Structure 1
Amino acid sequence: MPPPTNQQCAVAGMQYALDHNFANPGFHHMQPHPQPPIALQYQAHPAPAVPKCLAVTHVVNVRVPGPTHDGAPALILMDINIDTIDPQDFLTQVCACMEVEVDKVKLGWKAFNAQLRDAPNWLETVDDVQKAFQEFQAILDNKRRTKQVHMIIVNQTIEPAKIETPKRLETTCSEEVRELKEALRYDVHVGEHVHMPYEAVSLWARMKTQHNKVSGVDNNNLPECLKLDNLAEATKQCEELELQLDLIFKSTLAVCSRGHKRAISEVLDEDEDDKTAAILICTVLEELNHCFPDLEYIQYEQKLCQQGITYVHAIQYFDKKFFNKKVSMAPGSIDDFILAGKRCMKGKGKKRSRAENYDLDKENQCPS
């Protein structure tokens, strides 16, 4: 239904005034209309009083670790109104439940939703207690919470339990070996120092333990099998051995990689280059002189031999400045000379590897 318009409201007001004789000039001086009497049944039952709003209280369930009896720790539960309790009285009640003194204990607290590995908050001073109360008041005022709110008291003066070392990291007499090595420190003893291997120290430790005790063996007396003179002679006799694995490796490689031409040629190229005959420098100079007759590369043969460049492989050890200053080679002819030397060495290596691979293929062929 739409609301009444202004015109309708004005008409209704005027009609009400006419009905109640508001238009009479002497209306204001008339006595007001007497109110109708209240029925007896309503007088016996007064109107109900409006209920007063109850104040919101914050009550927290506190879980305190009690004293240990018969090896089983006890857990004490307390419901505390954090709005009215004094922080110092709160600490006193908690310490009384734990049967400890306030000055000789370090307390902490965790919330009900804290993770197991989370570090506890400190609960030592009055400020710490007030901060904890403020946090729990905010949690209790949150209407979306579903879990029961409680505070967990943590005794932080208790030393954490030591983590046991896994058995796989332990040795049969690790403690004895450690004590013996400490007793045998070289900076304590005066005289000749002999290096003892770990096996010898371990055997010495085993022979002086309670289970395998040998008479006359202690930190200062060696067993008969570990005399220092014998150990000194053994260390002197140890010499480094040079293993010649070149021929063994090559023969094994040749057998294992039959049919694989590249695998054999790549490994054997470097060693075979040293064993074959080197190419004379005059060969390269003659080829260049035939291709570039105007540059006259033959004239540099004597100077190159004077500098020790008699064979082609020696070209790679020198740069352009050397050939320009020492050999008096023209700058425009140096690049072609170096490239010709590399090309000659590369072509020779390819020809030799092809010939070797051809021979190997013939050897690996099955007789028809």
Structure 2
Amino acid sequence: MEPERKPLRRHTSFQHIPIMKIIVLLGGESAERRVSLASGEAVAQGLAARGHEVYKVDLVDPVRLVPARVPLFNEAVGERPPDLSEIPRFTPRRLAALMETLDRQRPDLAFPMLHGGMGEDGRLQAALEMVGLRFVGSGSLACGLAMNKPLAKRLFLSAGVLTPATLLVERDWLHDVAAVSEAIHGRFGFPVVVKPEASGSAVGLTIVREPELLADALKLVAGLGSQALVEPYVFGRELTVTILGREALPPIEIRPHGGVYDYYSKYTKGHTDYLCPAPLTPEQSDRVMDLGLKAHRALGCRHYSRVDFRLREDGEPFCLEANTIPGMTATSLVPKAAAAVGLTFEDLVERLAWMAME
């Protein structure tokens, strides 16, 4: 039986937190690199503002230790993700160099702010676990489960959390548009959502309303070197729930002006409205928060996560995914949810750092 969730309380700043040496890990090699750079810069600045000794390390240049005050990235995230061919690869040699940097610097903890790729799929977390370095966020197993969306969906269902049906399109099937279209018709019909099996920030996501548009959506996913996940489109409202520690924060409703919460809508200021707390009935709000906690626990997440939902027109919530390293940019959702319970951005990142030290 799930423990009863206590009434949400207003949060206040921590007192008497010792000064820590913290290395923020950011950048990386995925299509979400620019989002990671923006998130990592914000986290480093927030921790430094509280007096901590903070440095940044970009995973593609792991021997370079950058003080928090020196900007690595001070641009907008941009309207579209970068071309993967322009991003250096994170090789085993770079991983070894990163471990040497961390061993030489001896930080109190690492603060991963990597989105997608090996920085969020559990591989980086496994390396940190092997060397015994404390770090913020979920461990390697939970990160791997969350990034494997088909497997995560099975765990959601086992925990009593509804999630849309799924058709997994393997790489060698992506070019057989007719076969995929036939499978969609046989499973759930159009419209559908097509997205990479293991990615975030809406990179490669397409809402396909007609079969004639399927080929372009599959080609987009193929270009990312990924398998495709196809789900029936859930008509309704877009919601997200932040989990902080053992609590669910107030749900946020997301209303993109263009109708689709894609990469452009996520990271272009003024193109999406965020309602926090979401205009829900108390019963709806409590239910979505409880389901968010169940999804978080089903994956074994710790410290924090963000769980995304579609609230169907009949009021039934469907969990889309859980994010183990959610964004911390100027338009990100976790800081907005934290602000709704009285936490400044500096409060939030320092609280996460302290959770990792407990």
TM-score, normalised via structure 2 length: 0.20
Higher helix share: 1
Name the one with the larger strand percent.
Answer: 2
TM-score if structure 1 supplies the norm length? 0.19
